[in-house]
Chain A
Amino acid sequence: MISVLTAVLYLLLAPIAGGFIAGIDRKLTARMQGRVGPPVLQPFYDVAKLFEKEDVTVTPSQNFYILSYLVFMAVTGAIFFAGGDLLLVLFAFTLAHVFIVLGAYAAYSPYSYVGAERELITLMAYEPMIILTAVGLYLVTGSFYVSEIAASEVPAALYLPGVLIGFLTVLTIKLRKSPFDISTSHHAHQELVKGLTTEFSGPTLAKIEIAHWYETVVLLGIVYLFFGFNPLLALVAIAVTYFLEVFIDNTFSRMKWQWTMKEGWGVAVTLGFINLAVLYYFYLGV
């Protein structure tokens, strides 16, 4: 059930896939704004450049936290792609984010603090919906194991439309897309210096980027689980999802953090809970 091979493949290939996705993201964004945009390989150039730069460290502990962030993000994905327990995946995922918040708090900088606080708010906003996603997938497929959910013939997306829409909403929060890019964003012009990543430079910033690539692949992997009954449909769903994320990113401006909380919890309660309640009482026959 647990496959080491896929986990190793994930560890090797996910940064490449994640980097390409980020490159396509920037190209699409540029085209939507009527620009030519950078080459698709641009995220790789950026990270390679960051490794060439001097490593300016404010406090030694901050680099340790960022390394932990990268390692735990890789572990999260490795458990996921090994077909492990989805709950364990989500806990490792949260732990990784706790590390980046600690890293931002470690550097004595008001901008970094604001970014860290906002990242905590984002964590609070998306966490309930992510747990509901795991619960929903368990209810329809009868397993918390990723390998069994992915192999299940049950059309999870049809039973869990509310949970799916809820998950896509928090996916926007998670990928730091507008209107939810409150802690840090890829666009400099709506920034409190650089939020969460203000105090990180050079190789440390590169590690944050690579961790983000790992993260993107895991999150899109969760989208796959909703469509596990038809792999081709799942790939189409992932492509459509990501296109929508870029589209939303370009049509919204950043909103206040209160709005992120309202969206995250409001969606989790209304769509997630109602979906699960309907499923529980009408389909599972209690």
Chain B
Amino acid sequence: MAYLKKSPWLIHYDASSCNGCDIEVLACLTPLYDVERFGIINTGNPKHADVFVITGSINDLNREVVKNIYEQMPNPKVVVAVGICACSGGVFAECYNVSGGVDQVIPVDVYVPGCAARPESIIDGIVKALGILEEKRAKMTEMEAVHA
């Protein structure tokens, strides 16, 4: 039973992005791309979310916030780093206040590079993430069966 793939709800967080990637994430929700036809909903609540879409690099101010959002999400969950800053820090990687990509704080499942990442590649990345989400769910059910 793989209903997770049919109804992924995502939460979008702007770490320290320039807003370029954020605009592209929101573009996915517009009538042109309309990701809701795959059941994807942008929730504002980590407790309802399955996919954590994060843009921008990690710095000392948002490190705890990112960790907190990730920990509030119920399992199974996946993280999609959108844009080159979220993947590796991008051109800001060497800045004194930037620690690097999102994977410095939480485990990232899918990297979507680009500056800014195009809506097509964001949707592609999320669809890839859904496969990983399904794997994680299968593993979780297996673990529950073992412990039960």
- The chain A residues found within 8 Å of chain B, CB to CB, are 26, 30, 33-39, 42, 45-46, 48-49, 52-56, 188-189, 191, 193-194, 197-202, 205
Are B44 and A193 interface neighbours, CB within 8 A? Answer: yes
Closest CB in chain A relative to B136 CB, distance in Å:
11
Residues of B near A35 (CB, < 8 A) are 31, 34, 36-37
Q: Are B43 and A33 touching (Cβ within 8 A)?
A: no
Contact in complex: A48, B36 (CB < 8 Å): no
Contact at B31–A52, with CB atoms within 8 Å? no
Query: How extensive is the interface on chain B, given as a class?
Result: 20 to 34
When each residue 25-58 of chain B gets 1 if its CB lies under 8 Å from chain A and 0 otherwise, what string results?
A: 0000001001011110111110110100000000
Residues of B at the A interface (CB closer than 8 Å) are 1, 3-4, 6-7, 31, 34, 36-39, 41-45, 47-48, 50, 72, 74-76, 137, 140
Residue of A nearest to B10 (CB): A188
Contact status A55-B31, CB under 8 Å: no
Indicate if the CB atoms of B43 and A194 lie closer than 8 Å: yes
Bound CA span A189–B41, Å: 11
Q: For residue B1, give the distance in angstroms from its CB to the closest CB of chain A.
A: 7
Q: Is A45's CB under 8 angstroms from B36's CB?
A: no
Task: Name A53's contact: one of B1, B37, B74 (CB within 8 Å).
Answer: B74
- The CA-CA distance from A195 to B74 in the complex, in Å, is 18
Is the beta-carbon distance between B74 and A46 smaller than 8 angstroms?
A: no
A30–B45 touching, CB < 8 Å = no
Shortest CB-to-CB span from A69 to chain B, Å, is 18
- The contact of A37 among B34, B47, B75, by CB within 8 Å, is B34
A42 touches B44 (CB 8 A): no
* One of B6, B31, B41, B50 near A188 (C-beta < 8 A): B41
Known pairs A35-B34, A49-B3, A49-B6; list 20 more (Cβ under 8 Å): A36-B34, A36-B37, A37-B37, A38-B36, A45-B39, A48-B1, A48-B3, A49-B7, A53-B74, A55-B74, A56-B47, A56-B72, A188-B41, A188-B45, A189-B44, A191-B44, A193-B45, A194-B43, A197-B45, A197-B48
Report B-chain residues with C-beta under 8 Å of the C-beta of A39: 37, 39
Q: How far is B140's CA from A52's CA once the two chains are assembled, in angstroms?
A: 10
A200 and B47 in contact, given A42-B39, A45-B39 (Cβ under 8 angstroms): yes
A37 to B41, CA, bound (A): 11
Does A198 lie within 8 Å of B39, measured CB to CB? no
**A201, B39: Cβ atoms closer than 8 Å:** no
User: Chain A residues near B74 (CB, 8 Å)?
Assistant: 53-56, 201-202
Given contacts A34-B31, A205-B48, whether A52 and B4 have CB atoms under 8 Å apart is yes
Shortest Cβ distance from A186 into B: residue:
B41
- Show 6 A/B contacts (Cβ-Cβ < 8 Å), sorted by A: A48-B1, A49-B4, A53-B4, A56-B72, A56-B74, A193-B44
Task: Indicate if the CB atoms of A53 and B45 lie closer than 8 Å.
Answer: no
Task: Give the chain B neighbours of A200 by CB distance below 8 A.
Answer: 47
For A43, give the chain B residue with the smallest CB separation: B7
In the complex, the answer to whether A45 meets B6 with C-beta atoms within 8 Å is yes
CA distance A37 to B40 in the complex (A): 10
Task: Determine the distance from Cα of A220 to Cα of B82 in the docked complex, in whole angstroms.
Answer: 44
In the complex, A39 Cα to B44 Cα: how many Å? 22
Q: Knowing A38-B37, A46-B7, A55-B74 touch, does A201 contact B42 (C-beta < 8 A)?
A: no
B36 touches A37 (CB 8 A): yes
Structural contact, A46 and B39, CB atoms closer than 8 A: yes
CB neighbours of B45 from chain A (8 A):
188, 191, 193-194, 197-198
B-chain residues with CB within 8 Å of residue A48 when the two chains form the complex: 1, 3, 7
Q: Which residues of A contact B41 (CB under 8 A)?
A: 188
With A42-B39, A53-B75 known as contacts, the answer to whether A199 contacts B3 (CB < 8 A) is no
In Å, the complex CA distance between A201 and B4 comes to 14
Most buried by A among B31, B39, B47, B76: B47
Chain B residue with Cβ nearest A203 = B74
In whole Å, how far is A274's beta carbon from the nearest beta carbon of chain B?
42
